[in-house]
């Protein structure tokens, strides 16, 4: 029962305050640790084959270190007071979740679009996507925002809660370390193709089950919100596997089908055009309100999932 309340408290903390800038955040520490380990590896290793082998050290060191340090911290706090340990665990798990930040980022784009300020909207969406945004029109800005919010339901909410359920704050922090590694070194470019392959692969594996659970929950949420849940399910079955990521296509196709919109298409990265497979059917043009609809689906999906996790913890599993 206590751990169920910890999960609910962690989600409540994130929904209420998100990630205040004046409080220390573990992800910042993870980023610094990744940079330090990368420098050490590159100082002693330069050959591609050796870098691929050394790349395994990144997730082992950073994610393993996050698990160990969090476990030690909670153990030390338990010696002082179990209440202090429970409060710390709730806060630590909350730092691995970003439902409020995800909603706020999407709404920042919507606000500028609703005012008709395209340059400001381009800057806002540029904060949350990796593609070039300087030439995007309103529908493309909406597409980038919807894709980001939908995709990050997994990374920012369901995956950390999934691992918190089965391993508490230590495993949730280890997952967040894996996800941070992927965002920093999991690129298929000349710099990280060899060093970052293990981190990228581990992130794919870690999100495999949560992504598919998320897709099913989004179908349920589309039914509750009176969107097209039948088309959402059909679109998942048809389009999810077309995405270059083994996981991102599931939430994106679920949202696209539910809203009757088409995601994917041409993106430009550093001046180079890249086509991403289409998700969904263009039954109508993309509009700024699709950002609000996607945020509603994200928040409802998050709430349903944390409720399920709490129920599982309550009856004695997980934790």
Instruction: List pLDDT tens digits, range 109-129.
Output: 999 999 999 999 999 999 999
Confidence of residue 195 (pLDDT cuts 50, 70, 90): confident
pLDDT of residue 29: 86
Residue 319 in domain: no
Whether residue 41 has pLDDT greater than 60: yes
Reported confidence tier of residue 317, pLDDT bands at 50, 70, 90: low
Q: Does a structural domain hold residue 38?
A: yes
Does the pLDDT at position 40 exceed 80?
A: yes
Q: 125 in a domain, yes or no?
A: yes
User: How many domains does the chain contain in total?
Assistant: 1
Reference 150, options 283, 13, 299, 304; nearest CA is 299
Asked if residue 127 is part of any domain, the answer here is yes
Indicate if the pLDDT at residue 220 is higher than 90: yes
pLDDT above 90 for 75:
yes
Residue count of the chain: 319
Q: What is the pTM of this model?
A: 0.92
* Mean pLDDT along residues 241-259: 96
Q: For the chain, give the percent of residues with pLDDT over 90.
A: 76
Range of the domain at 34: 2-314
Q: How many Å apart are CA 163 and CA 171, to the nearest integer?
A: 6
Cα torsion 97, 103, 106, 107: sign: negative
Q: Is the pLDDT of residue 318 over 70?
A: no
Show the tokens assigned to 133: 């945004």
Contacts of 206 (CB under 8 A, 6+ apart): 159, 163, 175, 178, 179
Q: Is residue 39 part of a domain?
A: yes
**Residue 263 pairs with which residues in a beta bridge?**
279
């Amino acid at each position: 029962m206590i751990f169920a309340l910890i999960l609910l408290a962690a989600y409540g903390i994130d929904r209420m305050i998100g990630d205040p800038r004046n409080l220390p955040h573990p992800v910042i520490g993870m980023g610094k640790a990744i940079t330090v380990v990368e420098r050490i590896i590159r100082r002693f290793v330069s050959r591609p084959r050796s870098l691929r082998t050394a790349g395994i050290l990144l997730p082992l060191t950073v994610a393993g270190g996050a698990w160990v340090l969090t476990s030690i911290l909670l153990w030390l706090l338990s010696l002082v007071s179990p209440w202090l340990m429970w409060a710390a665990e709730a806060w630590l798990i909350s730092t691995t979740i970003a439902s409020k930040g995800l909603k706020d980022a999407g709404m920042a784009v919507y606000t500028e679009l609703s005012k008709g300020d395209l340059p400001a909207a381009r800057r806002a969406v540029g904060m949350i996507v990796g593609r070039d945004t300087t030439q995007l029109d309103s529908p493309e800005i909406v597409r980038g925002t919807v894709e980001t919010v939908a995709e990050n339901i997994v990374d920012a909410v369901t995956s950390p809660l999934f691992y918190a359920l089965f391993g508490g704050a230590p495993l949730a922090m280890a997952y967040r370390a894996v996800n941070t590694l992927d965002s920093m070194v999991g690129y298929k470019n000349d710099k990280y193709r060899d060093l970052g392959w293990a981190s990228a692969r581990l992130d794919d594996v870690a999100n495999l089950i949560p992504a598919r659970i998320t897709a099913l929950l989004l179908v349920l949420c589309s039914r509750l919100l009176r969107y097209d849940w039948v088309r959402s399910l059909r679109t998942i079955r048809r389009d999810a596997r077309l995405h270059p990521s083994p996981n991102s296509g599931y939430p994106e196709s679920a949202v696209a089908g539910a809203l009757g919109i088409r995601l994917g298409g041409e993106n430009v990265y550093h001046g180079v055009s890249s086509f991403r497979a289409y998700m969904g059917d263009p039954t109508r043009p993309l509009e700024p309100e699709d950002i609000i609809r996607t945020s509603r689906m994200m928040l409802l999906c998050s709430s349903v999932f944390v409720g399920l996790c709490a129920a599982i913890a309550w009856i004695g599993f997980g934790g």
